Amino acid sequence: MDFIKDGFTISTKKEKLDVDLIHSFLNRTYWAEGISKEIIRRSIEGSLCFGVFENNKQAVPAGRQVGFARMITDKATFAYLADVFIIEEYRGRGLSKWLIEVIMSHPDLQGLRRMILVTKDAHGLYKQFGFTPLINVERWMHILDPDVYKR
């Protein structure tokens, strides 16, 4: 499925994704530092993915990927939004907002009981789409191994 706007395309076609770009970016983030390319590939296989691409034929390379996000979901009751990014030189163009709009309107993500995400610094973006801080946090549990990719 493709969405086109202002010289950019958002596509859910996994074969279009630039795994090298995704790995290079995520490997430098606070949430996935040290992640391997193999884990990136596996995460893509098990997710509904959204790649952001520049349509400008002058871009090098043509059709260059400039952003990414993925939803881990059963497509019935639950979804977890992860690995959202726009590469640095393309920020400030409204691409992250458009990416979240496309994700939130995707047919496979309608009627879910719960969507969650974790962010350190983008609360303002996600609030625009109805995300709020967790309530009843005492009910939530998790297993966290923040150094798993560094071993």
Residue 102 has pLDDT above 70, yes or no: yes
Dig out the tokens for 105 from the structure.
Answer: 């309107």
Residues of the chain with pLDDT > 70, as a percent, come to: 95
**Which amino acid does the sequence have at 112?**
L
> Using 50, 70 and 90 to split pLDDT, how confident is the model at 1?
confident
- Output the average pLDDT for the chain: 92
Helical packing angle, 37-45 and 19-26, nearest 10° = 110
Q: Find all residues with CB under 8 Å of 53, minimum gap 6, and list them.
A: 8, 9, 10, 11, 16, 63, 64, 65, 66
Lowest mean pLDDT among 3-12, 72-81, 102-111: 3-12
Q: Which position has the higher pLDDT, 60 or 45?
A: 45
Residue 59 has pLDDT above 70, yes or no: no
Mean pLDDT for 26-42 is 93
Give the per-residue pLDDT at 58: 57
pLDDT in tens, 121-135: 899 999 999 999 999
Mean pLDDT for 81-91 is 96
Q: Could you tell me the sign of the dihedral formed by the alpha carbons of 103, 72, 13, 92, in that order?
A: positive
Lowest mean pLDDT among 43-52, 58-67, 98-107: 58-67
Q: Is 10 exposed, middle or buried (0-12, 13-18, 19+ CB in 10 A)?
A: buried
Nearest to 87 by CA among 117, 65, 104, 71: 65
pLDDT in tens, 69-82: 999 999 999 999 99
**Distance, first Cα to last Cα, the chain:** 37
Residue 39 has pLDDT above 70, yes or no: yes
Is the CATH code 3.90.79.10 the one for domain 2-150?
Answer: no
